A and B are shown apart, each in its own frame.
Chain A
Amino acid sequence: MGIKRGKNNRAQLKTKKMGNIKNQGFLRPRKSNDFLSFLAFNCQNIRGQLKIQQMIFMLLAITLFFSLVGLFFLTYSLGDIKQGFIDIQKENAQKIVSILSNSAEFSCSSKRQNCIDMDKALIMKDREEYIKFWQVDSIEIRKLYPFEGKEIECSIGNYPNCNILKVFQKRDNGADLIAQQDNYVSLCRKEVKNGEIYEKCDFGLLIVGFEENEN
């Protein structure tokens, strides 16, 4: 292919087998009423069109292919992020359980580890201002020993003759808990017997739970 020198020496756009360049492009049919010659002219022009279409299809196909590869990669990495979040949540749950029993709102004393003041825990029940404070979705305290024979949920009315205290439970969207971490604790309270006040302690379990879609 080369530029045919025309009389005007200007650069000319050339397409393959387009016919006489003086026709100035392939879209202009000959001025002829002959249908067959019209068809013949256009058939000569089809090859150039096909070549461009082939290139377009190839480029589209390559772009589509790499887009699909990119989508698969993104799906994998997003799945990785979600798993990473769940792992971090579980790790966090284990740490939070240990600090909860030693926090000011539950602890018997700053000098005793893993000791829960049950009187205070009962007061903490369903306090709305604390719902987001601990970054957990449920806190439950269970008395394991001595056991009363059946499970009785604690309230102001039946305390201390009960063995399950649900401090709070946030399940507004019905999601299942993905992790429940627990820790053995002492459950101590003030008891009055024969006019004498003393501290009575039982053995129990502190259970915290987390939802799947924790923010």
Chain B
Amino acid sequence: MIKNKKGIQLSFAWIFALIAGAVILFLAIFIAARFLDIGEYKTDTETAKRIDILLNPLQTSFEEGKVTKINLPKETEIYNDCSTSGNFGKQYISLSQESFNKFPRPGEKIGFENKYIFSSNIEQGKIFYIFSKNFEYPFKVSSVIYLTGKNYCFKDMPSRIKNEILGLKSGGSAENFYLENCPLDSIKVCFNINEDCDVIIEDKCKNDCENEFDKGIVRKDRDVMEYSTKTLMYGAIFSDEEIYECQTKRLMKRIENLAEVYYDESQFLSSRDCNTGMEPELLQLQSLSQSFDGNFILLNEIVQEINEKNIGVCKLWE
């Protein structure tokens, strides 16, 4: 029994044991924490890749008009990144699932060149809605995908667009689109009116469009996004300005490459006595899409000319 209160008796062996034990305990906890972190990273990366695979059928164009609902087990943040470098630009998605009431760093970015996803930079929620539409300009370029976890309230739509929205809702999956009795947190989308709306769409057609709102401007807060075709109109509604501009430029790169393919095909068919007469316009389309700066005026004109020439048995696309 220690009678001397001034001292603590500790043999060297005990000191060594305490120090070594503390070091081993620290290492064990550190490795366990790192393993947990790596496990979350792996799960998030796998989930992002599976979402990528899930998006593949939407590219067949036969899934157009259907809304797919993705239910995730936990509150999730989906990051949408876009790059315009390279021949086709690149689309990246990554995921972060909630863990202990916070979102850890997202998993590895999954990149692909053949998909175009319009969404906000970060979409958060447990339920996400995805649907696709074909982008034809003038030929079929690609199916573009819209991804959103938010509620949207559409007001005063033209009948054609209203029928489209009703068509999306008819499958039962588009629960986030409202035409009436809109929830308070829904994003209000208005056509040509300017009263307490989050998104305003202005029609710029002047008797040069097949249908109203085929070209125009989408205004969101201070962002102004010019569009041509309804496909890009929906893209502007559901995405941030940064993502919209990036994806539009990527689509133009795809048009540039497709125009080159069709130009070569046109020359090949001409050598087999099947003349299309579209070579100069296709070259011009290739040049304009290469130098696209957000303005659709010249492109709309050349697209219309090409559409008028793509007729007869030698037409290059249907």
Contact = CB atoms under 8 A, between A and B. Distances in A.
Interface of A: 1-3, 5, 9-16, 51-52, 55-56, 59, 62-63, 66, 70, 81, 84, 88, 91-92, 95-96, 98-99, 102-105, 107-113, 119-120, 122-124, 127, 129-130, 132-135, 190, 192, 197-199
Contacts of B1: 2
A102 B59 contact: yes
Given A92-B53, A197-B313, A190 B274 contact: yes
B114 A92 contact: no
B161 interface: no
Contact of B11 (A14, A88, A105, A190): A14
B274 A95 contact: no
The 4 closest A-B pairs by CB, nearest first: A11-B7, A95-B56, A109-B318, A129-B87
B317 interface: yes
B50 A10 contact: no
Given A52-B16, A123-B268, A133-B113, A113 B7 contact: no
A3 B7 contact: yes
B7 A10 contact: yes
B102 interface: no
A104 B140 contact: yes
A7 to B, nearest CB: 13
B161 to A, nearest CB: 21
A70 B24 CA distance: 14
Contact of A192 (B114, B254, B272, B317): B272
- Max count, chain B CB within 10 A of own CB: residue among A9, A124, A190: A190
A35 to B, nearest CB: 28
Contact of B53 (A10, A91, A129): A91
A105 B113 contact: no
Contacts of A5: 3-4
22 contacts: A11-B9, A13-B10, A14-B9, A14-B11, A55-B16, A59-B20, A84-B46, A88-B46, A88-B49, A88-B53, A92-B53, A98-B60, A99-B59, A102-B59, A102-B61, A102-B62, A104-B140, A105-B261, A111-B318, A123-B261, A124-B261, A197-B274
Nearest to B261: A123
Interface in B15-54: 16-17, 20-21, 24, 28, 31, 42, 46, 49-50, 52-53
Nearest to B8: A11
B141 interface: yes
Contacts of B114: 103, 133-135
A4 B212 CA distance: 102
Given A2-B9, A109-B318, A120-B265, 17 more contacts: A2-B1, A3-B2, A3-B3, A51-B13, A52-B16, A55-B16, A95-B56, A95-B57, A110-B318, A113-B60, A120-B262, A122-B268, A123-B265, A123-B268, A124-B261, A133-B88, A135-B114
A99 B114 CA distance: 10
Contacts of B268: 119, 122-123
B17 A59 contact: yes
Nearest to A5: B4
B310 to A, nearest CB: 12
A192 B313 CA distance: 11
B11 A15 contact: yes
B142 interface: yes
A132 B8 contact: no
Contacts of A99: 56-57, 59-60
B6 A70 contact: no
Contacts of B7: 3, 10-12
B315 to A, nearest CB: 10
B59 A11 contact: no
Nearest to A84: B46
Nearest to A11: B7
- Max count, chain A CB within 10 A of own CB: residue among B31, B59, B141: B59
- Max count, chain A CB within 10 A of own CB: residue among B1, B7, B141, B258: B7
B17 A98 contact: no
Contacts of A70: 31
B134 interface: yes
A104 B141 contact: yes
Contacts of A107: 140
B136 interface: yes
B265 A192 contact: no
A95 B4 CA distance: 79
B2 A129 contact: no
B113 A192 contact: no
B12 A63 contact: no
B72 interface: no
Contact of A105 (B49, B87, B258): B258
